Structure 1
């Protein structure tokens, strides 16, 4: 069985904006899912479980307190030792969230399934939504995890390539984990592999 390829971040700002426009035209729910994902770095499994009351709390506090499922479900970490990841509700996201939750009930899932408001969409559905959007713009290996990776890669670039800052904002334990997560090692290897083209004549 072929090894599953890891999700890619969406590195180009233009592509991120194109996907937003594409999703917005098709479905407001999917557009908001993508926007929250790239603005907060929520893991997809936690993102789909958000309820309207979670958003109201974040808007009131000015921050998301993200208790990530990967840590919460780990057998190696005591529950009382888990600290939430704190993420600022940035202005543009706040504007969109206030509009999106208007007239919604506190107990409703933010991203409801078509099967009913008491059910949320699945991570597999998120992957299908984003793969479709990625295909539209010729992007490869775009999945549910691409949102968090896009969040991380954007911070990496905007911070002047401060990998330590990205590690802290993702809640990773090591810089090596963060480098692997956003594909920096592969990016470097590919760059220097391509430099070998100068050694080969094709005509």
Structure 2
């Protein structure tokens, strides 16, 4: 079996032979698959990474890059279909063990915006959590941080204790391209983290994992897939019929702020968008203004002030 040293050129030739001889695709279909594959390979070349090393996050970043180029949902769905076909072939021929596209979600073509959860629905999901189980407070804190801070799930899995500024109520987030940003964290989210830390402090933590905020049963940091499965399970138990993922909480965060009257630029800066055109207009928004927008307009913080009579 050949390893990751296999060149992209040889991979393409073998994949092309597979599509033609084993799948029996006609020439025009074959050409379409190869054109879309070329987009993927060019992307990985730009990232300095082999397609054989790809994880789900890499494929999602590729999809986001293609979308940013103005590719519509229908065309993006076709491209991702070809990407899935390619990785199924790599698994079949033994180049890789696991298919990174297995949990890849297709773009919704019937609507332009992803599903949004109301604050009440987020409450329903959290109420489905059994807090008597060791992971209960951890999972509740995960959902609260995603919803209250609008983090990407990849940012949450990499969140470190050393990134928390509890007294200042900020979190230092490592975004795409290793770009850092400061994100205000609400009192409610800090409360949930505090409950989780009580349980976390009693765990045996794997060497090298001591600084990660969220850990699994074995004392190692969580993966994106674990969080996706957990969230879907709680949503099902809560009777939420919407198709949701961790990104749903991120989008719900932004939608809740917008509907609450927050400044659009502050919201976009909070989300850590990478586009130069987007980023430039947030350059002069200081962290004090960002924190004020979040604490004043997020429904979680409004409710927290009412409950604690602040």
- Determine if contact 1:9/1:147 at 8 Å carries over to the other structure: no
- Distance in 2 separating the partners of 1:112 and 1:121: 6
2:259 aligned residue: 157
**Which structure is larger by alpha-carbon Rg, 1 or 2?**
2
Unmatched runs of 5 consecutive residues or more in structure 2: 1-80, 85-104, 279-310
Specify the alignment match of 1:185 in structure 2.
Answer: none
1:71 counterpart residue number: 177
Instruction: Give CA deviations for 1:94-131 in whole Å, capped at 9, x if unaligned.
Output: 223233224628925322122x11x1121011111111
- State how far apart, in whole Å, the 2-side matches of 1:11 and 1:138 are: 9
The match for 1:50 is 159
Q: Which residue of 1 aligns with 2:15?
A: none
Q: Secondary structure at the match of 2:166?
A: helix
Cα separation, 1, equivalents of 2:272 and 2:226: 26
- SS of the residue corresponding to residue 60 of structure 1 reads coil
The 1:91/1:138 distance shift into structure 2, 3 A limit, reads closer
> What is the TM-score when the length of structure 1 is the normalising length?
0.66
- Does residue 89 (structure 1) correspond to residue 198 (structure 2)? The answer is no
2:148 equivalent to 1:39: yes
What's the TM-score, normalizing by structure 2?
A: 0.45
Distance across 2 between alignment mates of 1:88 and 1:97: 14
Is the 2:137–2:195 Cα contact (8 Å) retained in structure 1? no
The 1:143/1:21 distance shift into structure 2, 3 A limit, reads same
Corresponding residue number in structure 2 for 1:141 = 243
| Number of residue pairs aligned between Structure 1 and Structure 2 | 159
**How many Å separate the matches in 2 of 1:42 and 1:169?**
9
